[in-house]
Structure 1
Amino acid sequence: MSQTIASLMNREVHAAAPDDTLQAVETQLVAHGLSWVPVVDHGNVLGVISSADLLRQHAGGSSPPKVSAWQLCTYKPVTVRPDATLSEVARLMIESNIHHVVVAEGNEIQGVVSSLDFVRTFVD
């Protein structure tokens, strides 16, 4: 696994704005067949929202219409450079117990990677 994460990442990135409603985030996830999106403000990645985050919010019994993406997102997501190796990123995901990584060069998002992307390498 000496390949870089750039070879595995999804370059088409759909992101949520901090003030997007949860309904808008859910609509985006469904429309694009996604399980998560980064929350981005003026090019800065603030956090990520996953379908599990949304499920927890709904399961809690209260899903006020005014809850915004920034209020629900997991802050300070793990970010890696495009030249990180697949092994380094996989190890980081395991150690951090996470399923989603943002690939960025400085403040510019280059792509995103999920644990499912790693699984796909075994069937392609």
Structure 2
Amino acid sequence: MRIQVKDFMSTPVITAMAENNVLEIRELMNEKGIHAIPIISYSNDKLKVEMTIQGIVTATDISKEVSDDAIVKDVMTSSNVQVVHVDSTAQAAAKMMIRHKVHHIVVMDKGEIKGMISSLDFVKLIAEHSIG
């Protein structure tokens, strides 16, 4: 049985903008019980609006040493955001996380964020499936 990303990704995905401040992100993470938030922006072409992932902010990025007044764009990770398609295999996503040394991957389909996968999602996946 091939397990696909869509079979165990976390949904819904909470997103934020680069202009948000760290306090807003901390409160959002605490309220929703999450550890990473994709940072997005929108471009408005005359024909359609397109969403772009600018980065990702994690609980580590906004550690206690970071001021509540800091702006997300100043603390987010923007160079190593990994994206996978909803139909990708769990194995491909796991290899991507290992290769890029990340704990969160954004799951997309047709230009839209559909879910997130974290290291914890893989632990849950293993716990739910017999591996012995």
Letter in 2 for 1:113: I
**Structure 1 unaligned blocks of 5 or more:** none
Residue pairs, 1:17-96, within 5 angstroms: 17-42=17-42, 43-55=51-63, 58-59=64-65, 63=67, 65=69, 67-76=70-79, 77-96=81-100
Gapped runs of 5+ residues in structure 2?
Answer: 43-50
Scaled by the length of structure 1, what TM-score is found?
Answer: 0.88
Q: TM-score, normalised by structure 2?
A: 0.83
Q: Which residue in the other structure is 1:9 paired with? A: 9
Cα distance in 2, alignment partners of residues 114 and 51 from structure 1: 13
**Greater helix percent: which structure?**
1
- How far the C-alpha of 1:64 sits from its partner, in A, is 6.2
Give the AA of the match of 2:58.
S
Alignment of 1:102 onto 2:106 = yes
Aligned-residue Cα RMSD (Å) equals 1.5
Q: Label 1:71 to 1:107 Cα distance change in 2 as closer, same or farther (>3 A).
A: farther
Identity rate, percent:
24
Distance 1:107 1:19 in 2: 22
What SS does the corresponding residue of 2:16 show, helix, strand or coil? Answer: coil
Quote the Cα distance in structure 2 between the aligned partners of 1:78 and 1:99. 10
Rounded Cα–Cα distance in structure 1 between residues aligned with 2:3 and 2:75 = 34
Structure 1 residue identity aligned to 2:59:
S
CA distance in 1, matches of 2:68, 2:35: 21
SS in 2 for 1:40: strand
